[in-house]
């Protein structure tokens, strides 16, 4: 069965010079995929022609006259640029023309526009951003939230646990993913009040056989692979993710500098290039590109803004896999089962102004 | 001038087999240092004799009949083991026999016993743990709090900034260390309410020319060396520190495994061993061992529990340098200048039961 993904081709630091080759390479590897390329039609067609792909039948070009830049305030992304490539790509999911959308545009705008266009899934208070990191067991560790929610209550973290578990289950084929709650120690008595209360909620789900809650985990457990899914608030998740990215970049610089220092060390590196290639491959950040915006009424994946074609293709693959594995359906079912449903008020939350909503969460400018 | 440091020789995973050689090596490098070795006298003397150092005139052995183990609950460390090597070592600072103390014992116990024995510095609400991490500018980045305070108010973070700045200034000889507030983005509008309010306090100090506040920083700025001091609450700091330690360990494993995989890659590593040694040296975690417990009426430094002798020696060096550079005096002066002093209540805070105090902070078992 064919699965169609929409791509915001103008988003990110590099735009079509990265998104188009990534899209073409992805199509080559995935015969059941179709792609909707969204952006300035002339630019996209020229890029396709340059790559002799203007007649590819599994590609559609969809014109959008505007672009959300990395510096655009959320108000601009939401209210002024109604024909942005980001928004048009997301609208393809809303209308059912695409099963998922990928963008490398700025995270705040992508989350805000996605919430505005798609709305939040029933039973979910706040969507979260979920990405994967490599671990010593050579598998991925799913981590969420990575920055959508800087202030969280226990029921938010509880929902993140459900969402992360469903994404991991569907994407990795793990029947009951283990869930860890990120904390300053593994003992029950450790942590702040929010974490302790969240632990109680997760234990209750575990006792019912609904979620596979392992207990508290510490920062190093992300890379040990102690659990499949690590849950934290968006402040802690964002800081931690950026810190480990910073360390990885630092270590890469040190490695490169030292091996290039003298002809002898360069010779050594040349002889050991097989090892260096394996190291680069196992730790390759491109392989871990593509974060899911979970808890919306449609699938949206975020690529790193600075991603090159290889990394961007990974983000497309993650969106495709999530669609193929029915992540939305599993998520709806699990949320309906585990979250207490309230009678919706006459005016439901999703009809509110999303900028106002985000302001209440303390994330957006006043 | 001679400076005397007391050492909890029984603390940590390895005890005297690490603390004694570290102490002896430190004495060799630092002719103005004297050390008080605290622990089971027989064991310490035997270890010294084995190393032909039982007649070293700059060493004193001080008997303590008990030990705080890694698993001891705080109540046990505080109330039952009144003759522990940890407590006796800290008491040397209290009595003025030592200018600073070093222990590799468990962090929670070390902080609780230090607070109980030494009391908190006037004007400081909560002591904090400050350590350093390497950065791309080949300097250290000071980071605090690393886990003593999991729930913080803006005035706590404000005090951490003052304490980190003073330690950095005294230890690195940087006249006005730059201070960054750890956040999810660099813009003023980013972050949770606590961070935003802290930013206002730090800006006010900056405007008065008191603190050199750079503004918000992100996780990756720790390793970029954007600022000299990074301030965060103990939850974020602890999780981040452990995550980067976890990644470093993971990368080291990958490097070692891949270079050892075939005779060819081993040959390459042999030829490039100069580079590998430089890499290990620049990223050597031992160099960054030794976290300061700041805000007490005396200097206490914490070594990693699993530290080997080289790393432990670094912790002793940091304690010695802090004492030599009059960190306590600078800290008192800066706190007195910047923190609004209240009239102390009849029963001052430090006479309270520290276990009860810690319970209120949500860190310790109920």
- Mean pLDDT score, B258-274: 83
What chain A residue is nearest to B266 in terms of C-alpha separation?
A272
CB contact A336 to B (< 8 Å):
no
Rounded distance between C-alpha atoms, residue A217 and residue A230, angstroms = 8
User: What's the CA gap between A91 and A64, in Å, rounded?
Assistant: 11
3-state DSSP helix/strand/coil % of chain B, to nearest 5 = 50, 15, 35
Strands A291-294 and A299-302: what pairing? antiparallel
The ranges assigned to domains in chain B are 1-124+296-366, 131-294
Q: List chain B residues with CB under 8 Å of A182.
A: 239
DSSP-based three-state secondary structure for A182: strand
Whether chain A has a CB inside 8 Å of the CB on B147: the answer is yes
Q: Do A191 and B150 touch (CB under 8 A)?
A: yes
Q: How far is B250 from chain A (nearest CA, A)?
A: 6
**What pairs with residue B63 in β-bridges?**
B39
Which residues from B are below 8 Å from A221, CB to CB?
246
Q: What is the pLDDT of residue B100?
A: 98
| Average pLDDT of the residues in A14-42 | 97
Give CATH superfamily name and number for B131-294: Isopropylmalate Dehydrogenase (3.40.718.10)
Per CB-CB distance under 8 Å, the chain B contacts of A258 are 275-276, 278-279, 282
Pair B120, B349: CB distance under 8 Å: yes
Pick the CATH number of A128-285 from 3.30.360.10, 3.40.718.10, 2.30.180.10, 3.40.570.10: 3.40.718.10
- The minimal CB distance from A223 to the residues B218, B247, B273 is found for B247
What pLDDT score was predicted for residue B294? 96
Measured in angstroms, the CA of A141 and the nearest CA of chain B are apart by 13
| Cβ-count burial A61-76 (b if 16+ within 10 Å, e if not) | bbebebbbeeebebee
Strand partners, A213: A179
Q: Do A222 and B243 touch (CB under 8 A)?
A: yes
Tell me if A5 sits within 8 A of A36, measured CB to CB: yes
Q: What is the pLDDT of residue A122?
A: 92
Q: Would the pLDDT of B117 be above 70?
A: yes
Find residues 221-240 of chain A whose CB sits inside 8 Å of chain B: 221-224, 232, 234-236, 238-240
B256 closest CA partner among A252, A220, A272: A272
Residues of A in contact with B243 (CB under 8 A): 219-220, 222-223, 240, 243-244
Tell me the three state secondary structure of residue A178. Answer: strand
- Asked if B249 and A220 come within 8 Å (Cβ–Cβ), the reply is yes
Nearest CB to B251: which of A241, A243, A251? Answer: A251
3-state helix, strand, coil in chain A (%, to 5): 50, 15, 35
Query: Would you tell me the crossing angle of helices B263-271 and A263-271 to the nearest 10 degrees?
Result: 170
Report whether pLDDT(B87) > 80: yes
Residue B357 to residue B361: CA distance in whole angstroms: 7
Structure tokens that stand for B64 in this block: 């303590």
Q: How far is A9 from chain B (nearest CA, A)?
A: 25
Nearest to A314 by CA among A129, A144, A131: A131
The predicted model gives A126-131 an average pLDDT of 95
- Disruptive mutation site among B131, B136, B246, B304 for chain A (greatest number of A CBs within 10 Å): B246
Give the pLDDT score at B285: 76
CATH classification number, A1-124+295-366, choose in 1.10.1420.10, 3.30.70.20, 3.40.50.10950, 3.40.50.2300: 3.40.50.10950
Count H helices and E strands in chain B, helices first. 14, 11
Res. A357: pLDDT tops 60: no
A361 pLDDT more than 50: no
**Buried-exposed string A188-220: b where 16+ CB fall within 10 A, e elsewhere:** eebbbebbbebbebbeebeeeebbbbbbbbbbb
| Selection from A285, A288, A287 nearest residue A143 by Cα | A288
Q: Which among B302, B146, B108, B138 is positioned nearest to B231, based on CA atoms?
A: B146
- Residue in B with minimal Cα distance to A251: B283
- The band of B366, judged by pLDDT with boundaries at 50, 70 and 90, is very low
State the pLDDT at residue A362: 39
Report residue B40's pLDDT band, with 50, 70 and 90 as the boundaries: very high
pLDDT band at A32 (very low <50, low <70, confident <90, very high): very high
User: Distance between alpha carbon A182 and the CA centroid of its chain, in Å?
Assistant: 19
* Minimum CA–CA partner of B147 in chain A: A184
Alpha helices in chain B (DSSP H): 16-29, 41-50, 74-75, 85-94, 107-118, 154-172, 193-207, 221-224, 234-259, 263-271, 273-283, 309-324, 327-338, 354-360
What is the pLDDT of chain A when averaged over all its residues? 89
pLDDT of residue B358: 46
Number of Cβ within a 10 Å radius of residue B164:
25
Indicate whether B346 pLDDT > 90.
Answer: no
Please answer whether residues B192 and A151 qualify as being in contact, where contact means their C-beta atoms are separated by less than 8 angstroms: yes
**pLDDT at B340 (0 to 100):** 66
- Most B CBs within 10 Å: which of A180, A247, A256, A282, as the mutation test of the B interface? A247
Q: List B residues 243-262 in contact with A (Cβ-Cβ < 8 A).
A: 243-251, 253-255, 258-259, 261-262
Q: What would the two tokens of residue B74 be? A: 């705080």
Is-contact A116 A79, C-beta < 8 A? no
Contact (CB, 8 A) for A330 and A170: yes
Q: Which of B234, B247, B306, B361 to mutate to test the interface with A (most CBs of A within 10 A)?
A: B247
For the cut 70, the answer to whether the pLDDT of residue A358 exceeds it is no
Q: Rounded to an integer, what is the distance from CA B198 to the centroid of its chain?
A: 23
Is residue B246 within 8 Å of A182, Cβ to Cβ? no
CA A113/CA A148 separation, integer angstroms: 13
Radius of gyration, alpha carbons of chain B: 21
| pLDDT reading at B241 higher than 80 | yes
How far is residue B25 CA from its own chain's centroid? 20
Which pLDDT band, with edges at 50, 70 and 90, does A176 fall under? very high
Q: What is the pLDDT of residue A354?
A: 46
Neighbours of B257 (CB within 10 A): 13
Model confidence pLDDT, tens digit, residues B4-36: 999 999 999 999 999 999 999 999 999 999 999
Strands (E), A40-165: 59-63, 100-103, 128-134, 140-144
Residue keyed to tokens 């039609």:
A41
Q: Is the CB of B235 less than 8 angstroms away from the CB of A192?
A: yes
* In contact, B297 and B118? CB cutoff 8 Å: yes
- What is the least distance, in Å, from the CA of B95 to any CA of chain A? 33
Partner-chain contact A272 B272, CB within 8 Å? yes
- Contact pairs from chain A to chain B, CB under 8 Å: 203
Which residues of A fall within a CB distance of 8 Å from B364? Answer: 189
Dist CA B34 CA B277 (whole Å): 32
More confident residue, A319 or A356: A319
Sheet holding A229-231, edge to edge: A59-63, A33-39, A3-8, A100-103, A299-302, A291-294, A128-134, A140-144, A229-231, A178-182, A212-217
CB contact under 8 A, B151 and A193: yes
Mean pLDDT of A12-34: 96
Give the B window 80-139 contacts with A, CB below 8 Å: 134-136
Chain B CB contacts of A248 below 8 Å: 247, 251
Tell whether A269 lies on the interface with B, counting CB pairs under 8 A. yes
The secondary structure of residue B105, as a DSSP letter, is S
Average the pLDDT over each of A265-274, A330-339, B57-66, B315-324 and give the range with the smallest value: A265-274
- Give the range among B320-324, B349-353, B362-366 with minimum mean pLDDT: B362-366
| CA gap A352, A125 in Å, rounded | 13
User: Chain A residues with CB inside 8 Å of B365's CB?
Assistant: 189
Distance between A288 CA and the closest CA of chain B, angstroms: 15
CA–CA distance, B161 with B73 (Å, rounded to integer): 30
For A347-351, B146-150, B193-197, which range has the lowest pLDDT when averaged over its residues? A347-351
Kindly report the number of other CB atoms within 10 A of residue B271's CB atom.
18
Selection from A202-211, A244-253, B89-98 with the highest mean pLDDT: B89-98
The chain B residue lying nearest A147, using CA atoms, is B184
Task: Tell whether the model's pLDDT for residue A58 goes beyond 50.
Answer: yes
**Contact across the interface for B268 and A272, Cβ inside 8 Å:** yes
The two tokens of residue A53 are 């792909």
Q: Is the pLDDT of residue B343 over 60?
A: no
List the single residue in B with minimal CA-CA distance to A246.
Answer: B220
Share of chain B above pLDDT 70, in %: 93
Cβ of B134 within 8 Å of Cβ of A183? The answer is no
A252 CB burial (10 A radius; 0-12, 13-18, 19+): middle
Residue B156 is predicted with a pLDDT of 95
In chain A, positions 270-309, which contact chain B (CB-CB < 8 Å)?
270-276, 278-279, 282-283
> What is the fold of B1-124+296-366?
Rossmann fold (3.40.50)
B70 touches chain A (CB under 8 A): no
Q: Residue B267 pLDDT more than 70?
A: yes
In tens, the pLDDT along B43-65 reads 999 999 999 998 899 999 999 99
Return phi, psi of residue B212, to 5°: -95, 80
Count Cα neighbours of B64 within 13 Å in the Cβ-side half-sphere: 26
Chain B residues with CB-CB distance to A240 below 8 A: 219, 239-240, 243
- For the CA atoms of chain A, what is the radius of gyration? 21
pLDDT, residue B365, reads: 35
- For the segment A160-177, the average pLDDT, to the nearest whole number, is 94
> Is residue B162 pLDDT above 70, yes or no?
yes
Confidence bin at A346 (pLDDT 50/70/90): very low
For B267, which of A147, A249, A271 is closest by C-beta distance?
A271
* Range scoring the smallest mean pLDDT among A322-326, A340-344, B47-51, B260-264: A340-344
Identity of the residue in A245, A251, A362 whose CB atom sits nearest the CB atom of B283: A251
Are B246 and A224 inside 8 Å of each other by CB?
yes
pLDDT tens digit sequence for A77-113: 999 999 999 999 999 999 999 999 999 998 889 999 9
Q: How far apart are CA A322 and CA A327, in angstroms?
A: 5
Interface probe for B, chosen from A220, A222, A359 (most Cβ of B below 10 Å), is A220
Q: Rounded distance, CA B92 to CA B39, Å? A: 13
Would you state the pLDDT for residue B342? 54
Residue A356 has pLDDT above 70, yes or no: no
A151, A220, A276 ranked by CB distance to B245: nearest: A220
């Amino acid at each position: 069965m064919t699965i169609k993904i929409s791509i915001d081709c103008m988003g990110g630091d590099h735009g079509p010079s990265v998104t188009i080759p990534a899209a073409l390479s992805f199509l080559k590897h995935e015969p059941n995929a179709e792609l909707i390329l969204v952006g300035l039609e002339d630019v996209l067609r020229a890029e396709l022609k340059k790559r002799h792909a203007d007649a590819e039948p599994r590609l559609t070009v969809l014109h959008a006259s505007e672009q959300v830049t990395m510096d655009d305030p959320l108000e601009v992304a939401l209210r002024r640029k109604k024909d942005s490539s980001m928004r048009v790509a997301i609208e393809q999911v809303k209308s059912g023309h695409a099963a998922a959308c990928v963008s490398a545009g700025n995270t705040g705008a992508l989350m805000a526009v996605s919430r505005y266009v798609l709305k939040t899934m029933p039973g979910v208070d706040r969507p979260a951003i979920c990405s994967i990191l490599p671990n010593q067991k050579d598998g991925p560790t799913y981590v969420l939230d990575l920055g959508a929610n800087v202030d969280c209550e226990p029921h938010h973290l509880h929902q993140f646990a459900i969402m992360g578990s469903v994404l991991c289950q569907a994407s990795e084929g793990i029947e009951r993913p283990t869930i860890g709650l990120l904390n300053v120690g593994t003992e029950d008595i450790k942590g702040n009040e929010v974490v302790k209360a969240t632990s109680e909620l997760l234990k209750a789900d575990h006792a019912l056989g609904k979620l596979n809650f392992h207990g508290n985990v510490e920062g190093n457990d992300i890379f040990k692979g102690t659990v499949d899914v690590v849950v934290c608030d968006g402040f802690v998740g964002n800081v931690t993710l950026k810190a480990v990215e910073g360390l990885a970049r630092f270590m890469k610089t040190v490695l490169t500098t030292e091996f290039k220092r003298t002809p002898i060390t360069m010779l050594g590196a040349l002889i050991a290039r097989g090892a260096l290639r394996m190291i680069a491959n196992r730790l390759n950040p491109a392989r871990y590109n593509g974060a899911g915006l979970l808890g919306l009424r449609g699938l949206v994946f975020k690529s790193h803004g600075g991603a090159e074609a290889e990394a961007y293709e990974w983000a497309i693959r993650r969106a495709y896999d999530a669609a193929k594995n029915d992540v939305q359906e599993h998520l709806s079912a699990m949320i309906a089962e585990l979250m207490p449903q309230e009678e919706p008020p006459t005016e439901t939350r999703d009809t509110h102004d999303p900028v106002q909503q985000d302001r209440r969460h303390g994330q957006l400018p006043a």
